[in-house]
Amino acid sequence: MAPRVEHHELDLHGHTVTYSTAGTRGPVLLLIHGITSSNRTWDEVIPLLARDHRVVAPDLLGHGQSAKPRGDYSLGAYATGVRDVMTAIGHRRFTVLGHSLGGGVAMQLAYQFPDRMERLVLVSSGGLGRDVHFLLRAASLPGSEWVLPLLSAGFLRDAGTAVGRALAAVGLKLGPDLEEMARGFASLADHEARAAFVHTVRSVIDPTGQRVDARDRLYLSQEVPSLIVWGDRDPIIPARHGEEAHELMPGSRFELFEGAGHFPYRDEPNRFAELLAEFIRDTKPARADEHGRMRELILAGR
């Protein structure tokens, strides 16, 4: 019998945050989704992971069923919000897995709150180089908020045909990539969600590419067991970002899913869940050392 997935609401600093949980034993695993997405993106893998882990999957503010206030949508604000969610529900330390934008949030979480981190998993992560699909670069342009309603209306009306073919023509992989992008753009029909999306995009991307780059601080991850996962057919962020990050993260592990796109956990959910379970089983949690070792690494600069 598959573990039961439960859905919750939390009032956090006056805003509603929704999250899902599953599993009653094992290490705590925090899943952070990407931009325009929600915790629904993990539907196929949560039951698999919850067999041996206690899984928490929030909707970031501005996404899914969580509130979409006018406010701060920077990586630092997201990291603090996720930390507060985990504190509120009673999880002090955890393994964090971030996909796409969620990878940037996960790295920021590790940097701001190293005492909370047991392991770090980056999946098709942002924040590791300049390259990113032109649709996201275009969304950072002035006036993009006036174009987005047309895109979202198109998805709501005809996600499977004309709009789908248009996205396939610009390199998006049929299957999970196209499904997730369609669901994400459809969510932007809501004005508040659209505003949150634009603020989020502009905090990390400009018309020339990604503007947040964690590579200069990746050496700090050497104290945290790290796994990097990518699809070799990722049209959003190239897999070489993961390969280059692996070289900069001492002791990290890199896994390339052949034939997979930007959502490898949806292309091959069973393989992904087995890989993650193996990684957690075969590594020891990082030490809860907030200042000592981190200070040494920063002063050494390597």
Active site residues per annotation: 100, 234, 262
**HSE toward the beta carbon, residue 66, CA cutoff 13 A:** 30
Tokens of 27: 């290490």
DSSP 95: E
Q: Is 13 left (phi over 0), alpha (psi -120 to 50) or beta?
A: left
Query: What is d(CA 166, CA 187) in angstroms, rounded to the nearest whole number?
Result: 18
Which H or E run includes 82? helix 75-88
Whose tokens are 């005809």? That residue is 158
Question: Cα separations (Å) of 100 from 131, 282, 290?
Answer: 13, 25, 26
Packing angle between helix 191-204 and helix 144-158, nearest 10 degrees? 120
Question: Cα separations (Å) of 193 from 61, 117, 147?
Answer: 9, 30, 14
The secondary structure of 103-146 as a DSSP string is HHHHHHHHHH-GGGEEEEEEES-SSSSS---HHHHHHTSTTHHH
Answer whether 16's CB lies under 8 Å from 59's CB: no
Query: What is d(CA 70, CA 125) in angstroms, rounded to the nearest whole number?
Result: 26
